[in-house]
A and B are shown apart, each in its own frame.
Chain A
Amino acid sequence: EAGVAQSPRYKIIEKRQSVAFWCNPISGHATLYWYQQILGQGPKLLIQFQNNGVVDDSQLPKDRFSAERLKGVDSTLKIQPAKLEDSAVYLCASSSWKGRRETQYFGPGTRLLVL
């Protein structure tokens, strides 16, 4: 099966500019996650969707970050305006269930550099 797709793979912007990332999950996966991974750290959950509804966005900096999954499939994550500390890899994941066990599958990530 095709994996989680993300684009772009790399993005360089100046601070105060806007940027958007796109994610296409594995077909049939209802749950979608966005993570932020700052250099030297593990991934940190930003937002979790179940179909087109938000399950958890407690760690999303809502003053500048927004995410949507309007039709319950693709998702976009936007940063407006970007700050230097937003430089990170943004990972998208989708998950499948086997009985009571969930497995998250990760995309290749989008590497963002804010100058």
Chain B
Amino acid sequence: AQRVTQPEKLLSVFKGAPVELKCNYSYSGSPELFWYVQYSRQRLQLLLRHISRESIKGFTADLNKGETSFHLKKPFAQEEDSAMYYCAVMAGTASKLTFGTGTRLQVTL
């Protein structure tokens, strides 16, 4: 069964500091990886997916199949980045998303 591990429940960084939210997955095939974000009092929304290879709000994530990781990175954290971040994997033909337990990013001044 597919599994997603986010080892940190809380990550606290200073504004302007680099951010790395860790995500490891287990799946034997070719999964699609996603990062979802939930800002305070807002609904869960897609931040980025590995296939797009794009930068969204300054965040990037590279799929490392050797390490089965999909860490989310941003070089300079902003206060508005404070939110709950979930890594998710979709595998197979049934479009089933499996989420990690989430990491709360707290950006302080």
* B42 shortest CB reach to chain A, Å: 8
Does B107 sit within 8 A of A, measured CB to CB?
no
Count contacts on B: residues with CB < 8 A to the other chain: 20
User: Which of B13-21, B60-68, B74-82, B93-101 is found at the contact surface with chain A?
Assistant: B93-101
In the bound complex, how far is the Cα of B80 from the Cα of A15, in angstroms?
Answer: 39
Among the listed A40, A43, A48, which residue makes an inter-chain contact with B94, where contact means beta carbons less than 8 Å apart?
A48
State whether B86 touches A31 (Cβ < 8 A). no
Does B56 sit within 8 A of A, measured CB to CB?
no
In the bound complex, how far is the Cα of B86 from the Cα of A3, in angstroms?
Answer: 20
In the bound complex, how far is the Cα of B82 from the Cα of A40, in angstroms?
Answer: 17
Please name the 4 residue pairs, one residue from A and one from B, whose CB atoms are nearest each other, closest first. Answer: A42-B99, A106-B44, A106-B43, A43-B99
Q: Using a CB–CB distance below 8 Å, which chain B residues touch chain A?
A: 4, 9, 43-46, 49, 51, 86, 88, 90, 94-102
Q: List 13 other contacts, CB 8 Å, given A43-B97, A106-B44, A109-B43.
A: A3-B43, A4-B43, A41-B102, A42-B99, A42-B102, A44-B99, A48-B95, A55-B94, A56-B94, A91-B44, A102-B95, A104-B46, A104-B97
Q: Using a CB–CB distance below 8 Å, which chain A residues touch chain B?
A: 3-4, 31, 33, 40-45, 48, 55-56, 91, 95, 101-109
